[in-house]
Chains A and B, each alone.
Chain A
Amino acid sequence: MTRGKIIDLFIDNTAKAAAEPVRISSSDELNGVLARILAGSDLIFCPFVTEQEKAIKLSPDKLTRDYTAASACVEEVFAAVAETGSLVWTSQGGKPVQAGLVCTHHVAMVSEESIHETLDDFFSSLGDSPPTNITLETGPSRTGDIEMTLTIGVHGPSRLTVIVF
């Protein structure tokens, strides 16, 4: 599959999983898009570990270092998988993976190059020693435990935005 088709497949599947994909043409647009998406959030957490994360600009009075207090969490993925529309988070670089779990709105930044076509591609890219903690996130947190009625945002975030750049 061509890179273009892989990206399309990823965006398609991430939408099917009830995430909100946003595609931008370059990382220059990121700050503008982030500002728009996060306009309604009062406190935002960002790990500021990756280069891309360090490059984003968020209004300082909204930023917090305490992820348990944040309503939104913005971070760059470790990888993504087109086959399932999944985001991959790992504990590498000291990232608190649980930050994206406890917020209400999780915002994921995904570079086009980081998208693997299949689960097999992703797992074989890990080699012999995988990071201690890997989480594949596919859509927001949900349950159907009462009468099979879908409820979004049990434990985890109720909203997942995926920005592909």
Chain B
Amino acid sequence: MSDPVTGVPFRANAIRALSDSALRAAMRNATETFATKRAETVSAVPLEEWRDQASDLRLRVLDHLSDYVDLFERNATRAGAKVHRTEGAKEAREIIASILRGHGIAKVVKSKSMISEEIHLNDFLQKQGVKVVETDFGEYIIQIAGEGPSHIIAPAIHKDRRQVGKLFAEKLGCEYSDDPMVLAAIAKKILRKEFFSAKAGISGANFAIADSGSIVLVTNEGNGRMCTSIPPVHIAVLSIEKIVPSLSDLPKFIRLLPRSATGQILSSYMSVITGTRKPGESTGAEEMHVVLLDNGRSEIVKGEYREMLKCIRCGACLNACPVYRLVGGHAYDSTYPGPMGIVLTALLDGMERAHPLLDATTLCGACGDVCPVKVPLPRLLHSLREQRVEKGFTSRLEQMGMAGFGMVAQSSSLFNLGQAAAHLLWPIARKIGPKDSLDRIPRPVSKTFRKIVS
């Protein structure tokens, strides 16, 4: 975690990442594969129509967000869940901890949840003496490594098989193998025991259904299902903008999420959980808690960045981003990396922390092209750059340079003077100026095009 006052040291992180050839190879492989598979699966469908529908639905919910939250709470309660509405991260963490404490639970199994990363849940619970066992294979790997996720869909994608093999051998005491099948089998065996011995399961939710009070979990491994149907207590944590009006709306998102994330038509497991186990049932938790987290959303929804809340956490923008593809997620030093991460970090953590991340984009626009719900990421990033300037988070030198630019751009005589000066002073500029920029561009000419044409 970086010092919140000075902001994320993105450039330094990125430079380090660029010289890590194993990381670069891993990132290239992962993002190319995801992006190619996504492109293949979306080429066969009426994508634009689907994107429009999904975007409209998200906006409809955002327009009446608190009503939908109320509706969800009513219906989830009716189905047997206990709903806890929390403002901030601290409150959410404490409620979860107190639920576990109330049952004397010292170990939980956990299905991958980005919101739990956002509120730093694991650390907090461990400090309270609760063992948290991540069950998603990628999350399990990084938990053992003591790292955070570097991609919102594939958390350990920055590691290659040798690194994972070494990690398992060191931390789990097993024989070294770099065969992913062997490594998966090792994790499966360990985690199988955990599923059956844990007294509580914590999950996120990909979506929450207002009409029925259900939560929806999508995984490829099946661990989401296992965390939520085997232990007697289930705690689901989700932020309020995940709510979708009814089950009949769900297909519109389910068609887009797996295709955009991994290029699959549907992930191997999708679970819809509506409350607690009823009499006569043999599946599901007996006690279910839904922690509905606001954490800034009801403020964001009122402002110019509200469309960011349409995000369905597919990761397509990460895979499309030229910067993310190169440096990976850890360089952003934030819960969410890539284009959606830059925007969310600015909105959730503030400009103080996020301002360097606004340079982690070339504004190429590739992210906006692939977003399944049409979050206008390029426009939001551009607005945030404007906000960064307005709030005074750019350097004095840059501000002065831009002020000079403005003056020169509005006067053709000053502009011509500037061009002549640039030509003449170039040798000096090359000596004293930033070499890594000036060495890469040609000298301004003495006979400008204007002079040729006039």
Chain A: residues with CB nearer than 8 A to chain B?
13, 16-17, 68, 84-86, 91, 94-98, 101-102, 118-120, 123-124, 126, 128-149, 151, 153-156
Contacts and interface: CB of A to CB of B under 8 A. Distances in A.
A98 B161 contact: no
A155 B224 CA distance: 10
Interface residues of B, number: 65
B283 to A, nearest CB: 4
Contacts of B269: 101, 135-138, 141, 156
Nearest to A93: B280
Contacts of A96: 282-283
Interface string B209-231: 00110100000111101100110
A145 B154 contact: yes
Instruction: For the complex of A and B, list the 6 residue pairs with the smallest distance between their C-beta atoms, beginning with the closest.
Output: A156-B222, A145-B138, A119-B251, A91-B283, A96-B282, A146-B180
Nearest to B32: A148
A143 B137 CA distance: 7
B311 interface: no
Contacts of B247: 123-124, 126, 130
Interface of B: 26, 29-30, 33-34, 79, 135-138, 141, 154-157, 159-161, 164, 180-181, 183-184, 187-188, 191-192, 196, 211-212, 214, 220-223, 225-226, 229-230, 247-248, 250-251, 254-255, 262, 265-278, 280-284
Interface of A is mostly: loop
A84 B265 CA distance: 6
Contact of A68 (B196, B212, B254, B277): B196
A158 to B, nearest CB: 10
B188 A120 contact: no
B156 A146 contact: yes
Given A154-B187, A156-B268, A145 B251 contact: no
22 contacts: A68-B196, A86-B270, A94-B282, A95-B283, A98-B229, A119-B255, A126-B247, A130-B247, A130-B272, A132-B79, A132-B273, A132-B275, A134-B274, A136-B266, A136-B270, A138-B269, A144-B262, A145-B137, A146-B141, A153-B188, A155-B222, A156-B222
A143 B196 contact: no
A149 B154 CA distance: 12
A143 B138 contact: yes
Nearest to A127: B247
Contacts of B270: 86, 135-136, 138
Given A130-B274, A137-B268, A142-B220, 14 more contacts: A91-B282, A94-B282, A98-B226, A123-B251, A133-B284, A134-B274, A136-B270, A138-B267, A138-B269, A143-B184, A144-B220, A145-B156, A147-B29, A155-B192
B169 to A, nearest CB: 14
A62 B241 CA distance: 49
Nearest to A156: B222
B274 A151 contact: no
A98 B226 CA distance: 7
Contacts of A151: 180-181, 184
B63 to A, nearest CB: 23
Contacts of B230: 98
A141 B222 contact: yes
A146 B159 contact: yes
A134 B214 CA distance: 10
A146 B268 contact: no
A91 B284 contact: yes
